[in-house]
Amino acid sequence: MKEFNAPFRILMGPGPSDCDPRVLRAMSNSMVSHLDPAFVGVMDDVQTGLERVFETDSPLTLPISGTGTAGMETAMVNMIEPGDNVVVCTAGFFGDRMQTIAERAGGIVRRVEAPLGRAVEPDALRTAVEEHRPRVVAFVHVETSTGVSQPIEPLVDVLRGHDDVITIVDCVASLAGQPIDVRRNGLDFVYSGSQKCLSVPPGLAPITLSDKAIRRLDQRRNPVRSWYLDLSRLRTYWGAERRYHHTAPVSLVFALREALRLIADEGLRERFERHRTNHEALVAGLEAMGLEMFAGKDVRAWTVNTVVVPENVDEARVRGKLLARHGIEIVGGIEELKGRIWRIGLMGSSSLERNVLLFLGALDEILAEEGYQGPRGTGVTAAADRYRTA
């Protein structure tokens, strides 16, 4: 086995995103113990930084020692007890995954669906809530499989007056890229992943709980089915007690701390604006090339952009050429959308004007080779114009 040297990549898929060299370098700090006074200080910094990124003053904000899916499972197993009624809003792969995990946690799930490429309608949720009387309502903010950004406020409005309902919100592909407004929206359990808009290597899942979610945890009648993800234990490790639960992934926590410093330097509003601008420039470029966006115009995410593969174009070949020639990774659709869309991520350190311009130029070249008949050279120009007026 030879030394591994990672190939050059520009990560423009739905995650992971590129990591800033400062974040990678933080991981080369020599190891310290998970209970070392120096590491306890790092834990404090990370919790403070995450509170700022979540825009919350929640007393329970921490990174779970697992990937975004571990964050999803943490939400479900801690908030749901066997036999609980649960409503899951789903319009794609990760909404469906929420349902699966909620059912394994013992929940009786009622689905509220929307067509792929659309967001869930508040009225559909209202009906489900009135009929199913859930203790938990779960939905995805940015559905990575479709590029749809679910408007949060209209769903939350439906739940006003249902004080016994806990909201679980998947912000894996939105935290630190688009506003979530955890506190203003009164969200109860929000989870994310490290490798999207935070641009930290995968392996951590930041979560935050409202006071109401903490009460729900305190009032459980049954132990949490997962011991590894049991917040009644984890909170004493990440809380003032610092009581040993498991060995935190020390190096990844170093990386997260450095990423949170980068975010503080940039400013959260400025970071959101960067994501919005790059998204708008990309869409302007793609549409100028005659391509059609997949997600509805009013619900497009800034972080994961979905575009319909033009007819008679071999989508996998296009992706292969982007990777081989330029190191650019974009990703195709999954499940029903396999072969039908491309997913182009502009998240965290990957959300850059230079990535947008390079990608549009490269796509122009490759699509022409592949027999696409749309206009040439228009994409880069349209994007550049969008930047000029931004």
CB of 91 to a second copy, least distance (A): 19
Tokens coding 383: 């994007």
In this complex, which beta carbon is closest to a second copy, that of residue 310 or of residue 333? 333
Length of the chain: 390
User: In the complex, what is the shortest distance from the CB of residue 196 to a second copy, in angstroms, rounded to a whole number?
Assistant: 9
> 264 and 49 in contact (C-beta within 8 Å)?
yes
Shortest distance, position 231 Cβ to a second copy, whole Å:
14
Instruction: Report in angstroms how near the CB of residue 93 gets to a second copy at its nearest.
Output: 9
For a second copy, the closer of residues 53 and 382 by Cβ is: 53
Q: What's the sign of the alpha-carbon dihedral 150, 297, 341, 348?
A: negative
DSSP letter (8 states) at residue 107:
-
Nearer to a second copy, 13 or 117 (CB): 13
| Residues with Cβ within 8 Å of residue 290, at least 6 apart in sequence | 310, 374, 375, 378
Handedness of CA 350, 356, 358, 361 (dihedral sign): positive
Q: Least distance to a second copy from the beta carbon of 363, Å? A: 18
Between 284 and 346, name the residue whose CB sits nearer to a second copy.
346
Q: Closest CB to a second copy among 201 and 285?
A: 201
Return the SS3 of 70: helix
At its nearest, how many Å lie between a second copy and the CB of residue 252? 6
Of 42 and 79, nearer to a second copy (C-beta) is 42
